Amino acid sequence: MARAMWNGAISFGLVSIPVKLYSATERQTVRFNQIDTRSGSRVRQKRVSDADGTDVPAEAIAKGYELASGSFVVVSDDELAGLDPAASRTIDLIEFVDQASIDPIFYDSAYYLAPDKATLKPYVLLLRAMTESDKVGIARVVMRGKEYLCAIRPQGEKLLLSTMLYADEIRDASEIAELDAVAGIELTEKELAMANQLIASLDGTFDASEFHDTHREKVLDLIERKAAGDEAIRPAVAAAQEDTVIDLMAALEASVAEAKKTRKRHPTRRTA
C-alpha cells in the first residue's frame, strides 16, 4: 500500500479541507553500482581534500558557495535552518486560474491529494466545482523545510497537486540561437496542406499503457540473461547514418502513404 508523505489541509477563505499527499509517480530507472572488475567488490567513494588529497572527516565538512572569484562563502546548517519557511500543515490557495493559461513547462512533480474519510463532502465539492469551471488552484505549500509553488487540478474523481517551477527557473528561449531563424522561413500552401494531412493521418487518442520504456526492458533482459550465465552476448552495432538532402514534399508524401498503410494493418488504433 502507498504511504502518505504529508498530512495537512487545503485552505482557502474560511474553508479547510483535510488531505493526505501521495507521490503520483515512481521512476523505474535501472540503477547500477560501480564494481571493481578485479575482485567483483563494490567501489566506495571517499571525501578527500583538494589541498592535499587526505580523507576529510564528516565533522569537518561544511556547505560552501563558490563565488566568481573562485573563493567560497561557508554557510552553516544552523544559518540555513534560520531561513527555512515556518513549518505548516496547510496548502494555501492563492487564486484560481484557467487551466489553459498555464504552460505545461511549469509543472514539476505530481502528487495525489487524498481526502480524509471524515470530511469527504468538502473535498468532493471542491473537486466538482473546479471540474465544472475548468479552473486550476494556484497555491503554496511547505514540505521538508522548503516552500513550493504548486497547482491543484481535478483529474477524474481526484485532485492532483503538481509542484511548479518559478519563472526564473525557465530558460529563456532567446538564449538558443538556432530558434532565431524560425520566423524567417516561408512555406508553400501545398507543403502546409500535406503536413496537415500527415497529422490527420496519425490522429489518435493518447493511451499511456501503449507506450513502454523499451530501452529499460532491454537492459533488464540483458541483466537476466547474464545472471542466468549467458556470457555470449554481443552488443548490436547501429548502422552509420549518411547525411542526405531532404526533399520536403517527397518526404511528406511518403510519410502520409506509410501512415495510411500502418492504419490498415492496425485498425484498432483508429479513433472514432
The 8-class DSSP code of residue 55 comes to B
Confidence of residue 272 (pLDDT cuts 50, 70, 90): very low
Residue 7: other Cβ atoms inside 10 A: 12
- pTM tops 0.85: no
The band of 91, judged by pLDDT with boundaries at 50, 70 and 90, is very high
pLDDT digits (tens, 9 = 90+) for 183-218: 888 888 988 998 898 888 888 888 888 888 888 888
**CATH for 6-27+84-167 (3.30.565.10, 3.50.50.60, 3.40.50.1370, 2.40.290.10):** 2.40.290.10
Which of 38-42, 235-239, 264-268 is predicted least confidently? 264-268
**Between 235 and 49, whose confidence is greater?**
49
Instruction: Give pLDDT, residue 182.
Output: 87
Q: How confident is the model at residue 267 (pLDDT cuts 50, 70, 90)?
A: low
Q: Could you tell me which residue, 58 or 253, shows the higher pLDDT?
A: 58
Worst-scoring range by mean pLDDT, 109-113, 207-211, 222-226, 242-246? 242-246
Could you read off the pLDDT of 98-139 as tens digits, one per residue? 989 999 999 999 999 999 888 899 999 999 999 999 999 999
Rounded distance between C-alpha atoms, residue 39 and residue 11, angstroms: 58
pLDDT at 71: 92
Q: Residue count of the chain, please give it.
A: 272
End-to-end Cα distance, the chain: 37
d(CA 116, CA 110): 19
Note the pLDDT of residue 216.
86
Coil, strand or helix: which one is 48? strand
User: What are the residue ranges spanned by the domains of the chain?
Assistant: 6-27+84-167, 175-230+246-269
User: Could you tell me if 10 and 127 are in contact, meaning their C-beta atoms sit under 8 angstroms apart?
Assistant: no
As given in the structure block, the three cell numbers for residue 69 are: 572569484
Q: Output the nine-digit C-alpha cell for 75.
A: 554557510
Among 84-88, 94-98, 173-177, 209-213, the range scoring the smallest mean pLDDT is: 84-88
Q: How confident is the model at residue 28 (pLDDT cuts 50, 70, 90)?
A: confident
Q: How many CB atoms lie within 10 A of CB 103?
A: 8
Q: At what angle do helices 189-201 and 248-265 cross, to 10 degrees?
A: 20
C-alpha Rg value of the chain to the nearest Å: 27
Cα gap 150→110, rounded to integer Å: 10
The mean pLDDT of 237-259, rounded to a whole number, is 70
